[in-house]
């Protein structure tokens, strides 16, 4: 992945200054030049903010004057790529400087649409949406008719409720229906680039209003093209993981699937300690379930013989160390006379710092089991340290989820790893 220096580093800054000098010969661009030495410690977004502020300082005046300078710069072939990001941010910011003039607001939207084929303006548009969503949306809706897929994508991507890296727009969060005309017009777009944005937009909508998102997708499936099913599957992926009723029905995943689920059966990353049992004091059902959970027994007796209730120390939990993997298997059997369409996930219950647990759903498979068919899936779940999750040692759990219905929750112990010393 390119570094921040490669995307918005001194060389890119020098190119931006060179282009602007061609538009305004003799202009000092002192703030932009001074920015060069401030770039190294900054992350990418911080660099964009720094250069945006420098642009606004070096090019004082009205929004119309800045827009005119930018449009002349667009005649230079070098005016493209990541240097466009701070330019779009400057265009948006200048248009919103008080007193805001409607003409400046509208022209800023138009200029962002002109710039977005060079680098997406999806972040810069957020300020305009926050300032006046009602004024912005009609213009943005008109972009769905643009011959340029970058502009059509901007209409969808720029108005997403939870656009990554972007500031939240309160009006979009409060009015999830406001962007439906945009995605309704684009879900059958000829460009995969645009359709992916529509699917992600629908996924954002599903976080705000699950029932609304499922309803929109159902409408699309009444008038589909060859790509609609894929757009809908991707757009409702979060609702499938949550087992949302209307979504599961849309895909034909019945919670009353009739399939027998065995597992998850956990496998220790290292051989388990020998299990020493007193055969004179065993509850066969309890023992069977314990051994099954550890992967030491293939099945539980259907008709266990009850013995005298004698306290039995529970078997130790399967253990996995942070940095290693937890191996497990899941078996499905369809005893019915009808095929069963299934979406199979697994749920990890992660221990939090305060001792409670939080869940995360992971995709296992989507399949159809014929009458009498059985299948076993084996997976390894990694507990390698990642930047987006902190693992806390202690009891965790894993369970299987078939068509949104969870079963077989099994606990395991996550142990602390031995971090290398200084």
Answer yes or no: is pLDDT of 55 > 60.
yes
Rounded to an integer, what distance in angstroms lies between the CA atom of residue 176 and that of residue 210?
Answer: 11
Phi and psi at residue 283, to the nearest 5°: -95, 110
CA 187 to each of CA 191, 202, 335: distance values in angstroms, whole numbers, following the listed order = 10, 10, 39
In the prediction, which pLDDT does 419 show? 57
d(CA 63, CA 131): 16
Of 62, 127, 401, nearest to 244 (Cα)? 401
- The confidence score (pLDDT) of residue 316 equals 84
pLDDT at position 384 over 70: yes
For the chain, the residue count is: 422
**pLDDT tens digits for range 238-264:** 999 999 999 999 999 998 889 999 999
Residue 305 is predicted with a pLDDT of 46
Integer Cα distance of 63 and 38 in angstroms: 27
* Per-residue model confidence as pLDDT tens digits over 360-376: 999 999 999 999 999 99
- Model confidence over 198-251: pLDDT tens digits? 999 999 999 999 999 999 999 999 999 999 999 999 999 999 999 999 999 999
Band (5; pLDDT cuts 50, 70, 90) = confident
Give the per-residue pLDDT at 3.
86
Q: Are strands 325-333 and 405-415 parallel, antiparallel or unpaired?
A: unpaired
Q: How many Å apart are CA 49 and CA 41, to the nearest integer?
A: 13
Residue pLDDT, tens place only, 279-331:
444 444 444 544 455 554 444 444 444 445 555 556 789 999 999 999 999 99
Between residues 408 and 310, which one has the greater pLDDT?
408
How many C-beta atoms surround the C-beta of residue 41 within 10 A? 8
Q: What is the mean pLDDT of the chain?
A: 91
Strands (E), 277-388: 319-321, 325-333, 340-351, 357-369, 374-382
Tell me the β-bridge partners of 267.
327
Distances from the Cα of 237 to the Cα of 71, 195, 339, 343, 381, angstroms: 41, 15, 23, 11, 20
Over range 259-281, report the average pLDDT: 67
CA–CA gap between residue 199 and residue 157 (Å, rounded): 10
Q: Give pLDDT, residue 267.
A: 85
When pLDDT is averaged across residues 343-347 and rounded to a whole number, the result is 96
């Amino acid at each position: 992945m390119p570094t921040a220096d490669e995307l918005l580093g001194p060389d890119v800054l020098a190119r931006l200054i060179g282009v602007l000098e061609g538009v305004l010969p003799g202009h000092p661009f002192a703030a932009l030049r001074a920015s060069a030495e401030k770039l190294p410690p900054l992350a990418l977004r911080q660099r964009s903010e720094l250069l945006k502020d420098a642009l606004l300082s070096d090019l004082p005046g009205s929004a119309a004057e800045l827009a005119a300078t930018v449009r002349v710069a667009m005649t230079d072939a070098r005016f493209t790529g990541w240097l466009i990001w701070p330019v779009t941010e400057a265009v948006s910011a200048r248009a919103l400087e008080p007193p805001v003039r409607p003409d400046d607001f509208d022209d800023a939207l138009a200029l962002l649409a002109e710039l977005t084929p060079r680098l997406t303006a999806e972040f810069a548009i957020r300020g305009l949406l926050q300032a006046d969503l009602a004024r912005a949306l009609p213009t943005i809706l008109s972009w769905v008719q643009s011959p340029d897929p970058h502009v059509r994508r901007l209409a969808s991507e720029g108005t997403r409720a939870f656009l990554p890296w972007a500031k939240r727009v309160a009006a979009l969060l409060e009015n999830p229906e406001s962007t439906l005309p945009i995605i309704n017009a684009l879900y059958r777009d000829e460009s995969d680039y645009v359709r992916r944005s529509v699917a992600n937009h629908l996924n954002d909508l599903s976080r705000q209003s699950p029932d609304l998102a499922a309803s929109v997708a159902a409408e699309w499936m009444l008038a589909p093209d060859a790509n609609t099913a894929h757009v809908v599957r991707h757009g409702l992926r979060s609702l499938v993981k949550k087992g949302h009723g209307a979504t599961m029905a849309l895909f034909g995943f019945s919670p009353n699937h009739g399939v027998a689920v065995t597992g998850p059966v956990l496998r220790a990353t290292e051989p388990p300690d020998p299990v020493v049992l007193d055969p004179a004091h065993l509850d066969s059902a309890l023992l069977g379930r314990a051994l099954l959970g550890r992967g030491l027994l293939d099945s539980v007796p259907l008709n266990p013989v009850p013995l005298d209730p004698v306290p039995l120390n529970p078997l130790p939990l399967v253990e996995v160390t942070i940095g290693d993997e937890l191996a497990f298997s899941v078996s499905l059997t369809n005893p019915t006379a009808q095929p069963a369409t299934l979406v199979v996930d697994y749920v990890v219950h992660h221990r939090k710092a305060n001792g409670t647990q939080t869940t995360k759903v992971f995709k296992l498979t989507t399949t159809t089991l014929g009458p009498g068919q059985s299948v076993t899936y084996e997976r390894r779940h990694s507990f390698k340290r990642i930047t987006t999750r902190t693992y806390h040692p202690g009891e965790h759990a894993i369970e299987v989820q078939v068509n949104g219905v969870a079963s077989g929750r099994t606990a395991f112990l996550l142990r602390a790893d031995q971090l290398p010393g200084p």
